[in-house]
Structure 1
Amino acid sequence: MSEMTRWIDLQGAVNVRDLGGLPTRDGGRTRAGQIFRADNLQGLTPADVTLLVDELKLRHVVDLRSNAEVTLEGPGPLTRVPEVRHHHLTLFAEGGLHTDVEADTIDADRVLPWAERVLDEELRVTGFYFGYLRDRPDSVVAGLRAMALDDGASLVHCAAGKDRTGVMSALALELAGVTREAIVADYVATGERLELILQRLRGSDTYRVDLDSRPADDHMPRSRYIEQFLGVLDDRFDGPAGWLAQHGWTDTDTAAMQSRLL
């Protein structure tokens, strides 16, 4: 990772960055090398694995992909590394054996959080984000706890590293006291790599059909999406921490996240 950027350049993933270096409300900055966020890790090369595990000391991977995605795409090369603990925590309801809908067969059209069509783009995106909280509060809490473990670096990822990963990263940064402006900026930073992300996903049968059915601009992470999401949590739950507290998150958990990132 360059001192001038939080991006981590890998051969087999294109949307990988460090949650370190972000300004906090008390004038500090988050620590580098503690929590990373990423897109799909299926294509990691041996050199990528060496960089992450040996140099960056990665020890925990929080995989937010659905059961269908893991079934179709495979678990990824880091699951074969003994030093790394894998936490598979889907954010979908997973009503069936394989998918996020009530069926027992893999329906690739419903694998992704953008598969359903809603005319109002902001409502569509933020609706999926609240769906994660409604359907899988257990995964949200467990994922954040795994991200806060202190026996080595952790990494959270999904397919694009944009929506599911964006929500979990925003919640972690909020708990650490990062400024709202910086949280929003981290969310929209994925847009800098969007073309590369979509190119990668279109190389997979799992994602190609849905991606090709919509213009690339529809997938752009916009500040108003995450602002709306966090704003509703502010209004209804006195902030993300208030929602988390209703689902088993404790002061000890918050202290662990702050110790991790500050």
Structure 2
Amino acid sequence: MTSTRTDRWLHLDGTTNTRDLGGLPTTDGGTTQFGRVLRSDNLQTLSEADVAALVEEVGLTEVVDLRTTAEILLEGRSPLRDVDAVTHRHFTLLPERGRRTDVFAAEETDEEIWAQLPADWAESVLPRQVAPGDEGEPPAVRSYLGYLTDGTDNVLAALRSLAAGGRGAAVVHCAAGKDRTGVICALALAVADVTPEAIIADYAQTAEVIDALVAKLASSPTYAEDMTRRDVASHTPRAESMRRVLELLDERWGGPVGWLEQHGFGADEQAALRSRLRN
């Protein structure tokens, strides 16, 4: 690992899009704390030095994995799975063909788990769902609203895991660390009273590394087709996408926290998540 941290970015050998959610401004003039929640792209290619930096320097104790069962099985184990001090949790936000599985309850070589992958698994790795009534929204906005519709329980479960995680650091990740991860992080930051503009800016910051990120994913058979059939510009996160999602949440639910409250994420859970990010 050449260096560990520059501002909010963590420069690791095995990831392209890892950064800390610390240092973001809140509506009451405060800031979020460093070393509490990180966001990242896929962790399968972490080096030994990366693992040491995350566990020993950052204090990582929890991985919140938002990928599908197919992605986890096809990409293989993260080296962090071999660290006893790190807990792994799996909350897919995408609809999966067949029965959803707690893939971490079994080894990747388990034949019963592999048997659950559909024959046409490639089409189900990164499905583009659309929430009813949102067909007229831009593609990214449709997908993000779709997570909230199709993956409601796991959206809540991921945030509850962060809220209950204590003082150690957690990393939230998917494949690229921009879409599924972006929605979970936006909701968590909203609970911590981070300003809307800072939430939007954090989401859009992945654009700074998009070329390297697309190249990394294109090198994996799991993601190559999805990366190469569209140009880099179509993969690039745009501030207006997250701004539109926040606008729609404001209109329909009174904001991200309103959406959470009306789906059962209560005051005590909000306070715990806010505390983890801020105190």
TM-score range, shorter chain: over 0.9
* Contact 2:97–2:124 (CA under 8 A) maintained in structure 1: no
Match of 2:93? Answer: 91
Output the CA distance in 2 between the equivalents of 1:45 and 1:182. Answer: 31
Residue 213, structure 1, aligned to residue 229, structure 2: yes
Q: Give deviations 1:176-234, integer Å, cap 9, x for gaps.
A: 00001100100000000101111110110011012111111000100111111111111
61, 64, 67: which one pairs with 2:63? 61
Residue 129, structure 1, aligned to residue 134, structure 2: no
* Contact 1:98–1:106 (CA under 8 A) maintained in structure 2: no
* Contact 1:23–1:178 (CA under 8 A) maintained in structure 2: yes
Q: Give deviations 1:9-46, integer Å, cap 9, x for gaps.
A: 10000100000000000011111110000000010011
Q: Give deviations 1:50-83, integer Å, cap 9, x for gaps.
A: 1001111100100000111012112311112110
Match of 2:77? Answer: 75
Structure 2 residue runs of 5 or longer lacking an equivalent are: 102-115
Output the CA distance in 2 between the equivalents of 1:115 and 1:130. Answer: 9
Match of 1:156? Answer: 172
Output the CA distance in 1 between the equivalents of 2:127 and 2:39. Answer: 18
> What TM-score, normalized by structure 2, do the two folds share?
0.87
The 5 A counterparts of 1:1-262 are: 1-2=4-5, 5-97=7-99, 104-113=118-127, 123-148=138-163, 149-262=165-278
> What TM-score, normalized by structure 1, do the two folds share?
0.92
What RMSD, in angstroms, separates the aligned Cα atoms of the two structures? 2.1
* Contact 2:94–2:150 (CA under 8 A) maintained in structure 1: yes
Output the CA distance in 2 between the equivalents of 1:115 and 1:46. Answer: 37
* Contact 2:59–2:169 (CA under 8 A) maintained in structure 1: yes
Of 90-99 and 153-162, deviating more is: 90-99
Secondary structure at the residue paired with 2:170? strand
Change in CA separation of 1:258 and 1:98 when aligned onto 2, cut-off 3 Å = closer
Output the CA distance in 2 between the equivalents of 1:62 and 1:257. Answer: 14
**Identity among equivalent pairs (%):** 48
Per-residue deviation, 1:137: 1.1
Output the CA distance in 1 between the equivalents of 2:75 and 2:129. Answer: 17
Paired letter, 2:91 = L
Output the CA distance in 2 between the equivalents of 1:158 and 1:121. Answer: 26
Which aligned segments of 4 or more residues in structure 1 are displaced greater than 6 angstroms? none
Structure 1 residue runs of 5 or longer lacking an equivalent are: none
* Contact 2:129–2:142 (CA under 8 A) maintained in structure 1: no
* Contact 1:122–1:224 (CA under 8 A) maintained in structure 2: no
